[in-house]
Amino acid sequence: MSAVRKTYLTDATGELRVPMREIVLSTGDSVVLYDTSGPYTDADITTDVERGLPPLRSGWIEQRGHRDTQLACARRGEITREMEFIALREGVSAEKVREEVAAGRAVIPANRNHPETEPMVIGEAFLVKVNANIGNSAVASSIEREVEKMVWAARWGADTVMDLSTGRDITKTREWILRNSPIPVGTVPIYQALEKVGGKAEELSWEAYRDTVIEQCEQGVDYMTVHAGVRRDFIPLTARRKTGIVSRGGSILAAWCLANGRENFLYEHFDELSDILREYDVTYSLGDGLRPGCIYDANDEAQLAELKTLGELGRVARERDVQVMIEGPGHVPMHKIKENVDLQKELCDDAPFYTLGPLTTDIAPGYDHITSAIGAAMIGWYGTAMLCYVTPKEHLGLPNRQDVKDGVIAYKIAAHAADLAKGHPGAQGRDDELSRARFDFRWEDQFNLSLDPDTAARYHDETLPAAPAKRAHFCSMCGPKFCSMKITQEVREYARTHGLETEQALEAGMREKADEFQRTGAGVYRPA
């Protein structure tokens, strides 16, 4: 019997328990996979959305006895429990995790006030990660639905979620999400700050923003998008764009700069902001407020001016022991993608790159999970550490449950394709197991090894729903007579039983064996 179940990796002491997904194959073998779904998929754990998840990291944080960030620890050679957890999860040494964090090439987004999170790492040296955006807008959605979307996104493989709520009950929604989230949660604090000043961008202030950030740090937000690179002087560079400024935060800050005739207050107060984030070990996600919103605007002067500024700000943050990721575009045609990664590495000292897509064409609203999965796979291969998903509803409306799943699956495909292309150790194992199951007609194993077993099984069953079809040596695509895998197996079996395994044997033996096979070989097309 083929089955999927929760399992745990433990360290030598038995104290660390790292959740993994185990696929028990019908052959008796097991495949153990990285798992983001949290306690929700452990049949032995009862979860209660009103009470939240157990605070996995509370003891570690207490025992640590200091408030240093993961970066500060890494720099002075300390391997934290989080790093050990991640090492087991990624199948690397804890020292490797420490090294990458110390160098600023990787981040561990883990606010000390979000002890429910299962530690994970974002960096080029590790598995490519996927973020899912959730959050209600003023037009639609509810708190319960957003919490459920977070659990659902994690279920399908989201490594982090960003809560982009802009409507009412923004604090309450975030609290519920944080207390129930086994994955790091990111936010864009300027959305809430704007609510505080009645939606009037020109009335935003450093003080209102700072208070919002502190409130969110206290709640446990793990990383924050900060558009400190939208400098006043860059705004005119967007004037000849086809779609101007498409980042919400970027447009708000541009409006503020223009209304107040002053430099972006986030840029001017960046030191102070960094000191706040350090206190909680909140990671910066330096936002690309001037990212291109269409193919025409890709890699333009505004975008690259901001990227350079983000590199400077990243150095300021790391000097203060604050972890930093850099956000990237957006809409970029394929031939301009690599330049984004190369420049980001050069200008931002190899800080982890975190990109939205990019979408490789503008002409497919309704399918932008696909236009962008193409760009995401490529930019992941080139070195991007985390991919922010795009759902089919992008540009059109707020994603529902199905859209969230479609977006996450498209991005898990992109991330895994990138891991394969990077030659990440172990990535190909899952492909090989699934291909072997396919060749052996172990249908249930094939489904369970796939990113979405439900859909794979449902598609198969649409035309061949009967139970015996699950053991059949064909599917409805080609039917029994034309199944190339079936024929190949029979050819191999013939070759094996006739000593024709090697090329030499084949050459020598083929002619004399031919008559025999012709007499007995109708089995190749034996009816199913």
Contact 119, 86 (CB under 8 A): yes
Binding residue for a second copy (CB under 8 A) from 52, 55, 91, 244?
244
Closest CA to 21 of 455, 449, 442, 458: 449
| Size of the residue set binding a second copy (CB under 8 A) | 138
* Least Cβ distance, residue 240 to a second copy (angstroms): 9
Tokens 């002409």 correspond to 363
Residue 59 Cβ vs a second copy, minimum distance, rounded to whole Å:
36
Q: Which residues, 6+ apart, have CB-to-CB distance to 267 below 8 Å?
A: 228, 229, 230, 231, 309, 313
Q: Could you tell me if 185 and 114 are in contact, meaning their C-beta atoms sit under 8 angstroms apart?
A: yes
Q: Which two tokens stand for residue 171?
A: 């604090």
Q: Are strands 17-24 and 283-286 parallel, antiparallel or unpaired?
A: unpaired
Supply 156's token pair: 């399908």
Among 334, 342, 425, 493, binds a second copy (CB under 8 A): 334
Nearer to a second copy, 108 or 427 (CB): 427
The piece of 5-13, 133-141, 169-177, 338-346 that touches a second copy (CB under 8 A) is 133-141
Contact track, a second copy, 148-177, x by CB under 8 A: ------------------xx----------
Q: Long-range contacts of range 435-443, CB-CB < 8 Å, 24 or more positions apart?
A: 437/25, 438/485, 439/485, 439/488, 439/489, 441/471, 441/472, 441/473, 441/474, 441/485, 441/486, 442/2, 442/25, 442/26, 442/27, 443/469, 443/470, 443/471, 443/472
Per rule CB under 8 A, is residue 525 in the interface with a second copy?
yes
Interface positions, 459-488, toward a second copy (CB under 8 A): 459-460, 462-464, 475-485, 487-488
The strand pair at 122-123 and 185-187 is best described as unpaired
| Per-residue x/- track, 258-297, a second copy (CB under 8 A) | xxxxx------------------------------xxxx-
The tokens describing 177, both together, are 């999400």
Shortest separation between residue 155's beta carbon and a second copy, angstroms: 16
Written as one string, the DSSP assignment of 229-282 is: T--GGGGGGGTT-SS----HHHHHHHHHHHHHTS--HHHHTHHHHHHHHHHHTP
Q: In terms of CB distance, is 85 or 381 closer to a second copy?
A: 381
Window 290-319: residues binding a second copy (CB under 8 A): 293-296
Stretch of residues binding a second copy (CB under 8 A), selected from 117-125, 265-273, 322-330, 332-340: 332-340
Distance of closest approach, residue 427 Cβ to a second copy, in angstroms: 9
Let me know if 70 is exposed, middle or buried by CB neighbors in 10 A (0-12, 13-18, 19+). buried
Q: Is 512 in the site for a second copy (CB under 8 A)?
A: yes
The distance of closest approach from Cβ of residue 256 to a second copy in the complex, given in angstroms and rounded to an integer, is 10
199 vs 425 by CB, closer to a second copy: 199
Residue 59 binds to a second copy (criterion: CB under 8 A)? no
Examine residue 26 and tell whether it contacts a second copy (CB under 8 A): no
- What pairing do the DSSP bridges indicate for beta strands 353-356 and 324-328? parallel
238 binds a second copy (CB under 8 A): yes
The residue type at 470 = K
- Scanning residues 357 to 396, which ones bind a second copy (CB under 8 A)? 360-367, 369-371, 373-374, 377-378, 381, 392-396
Q: Which of 210, 398, 444, 470 touches a second copy (CB under 8 A)?
A: 398
Nearer to a second copy, 29 or 501 (CB): 501
Strand pairing partners for 325? 285
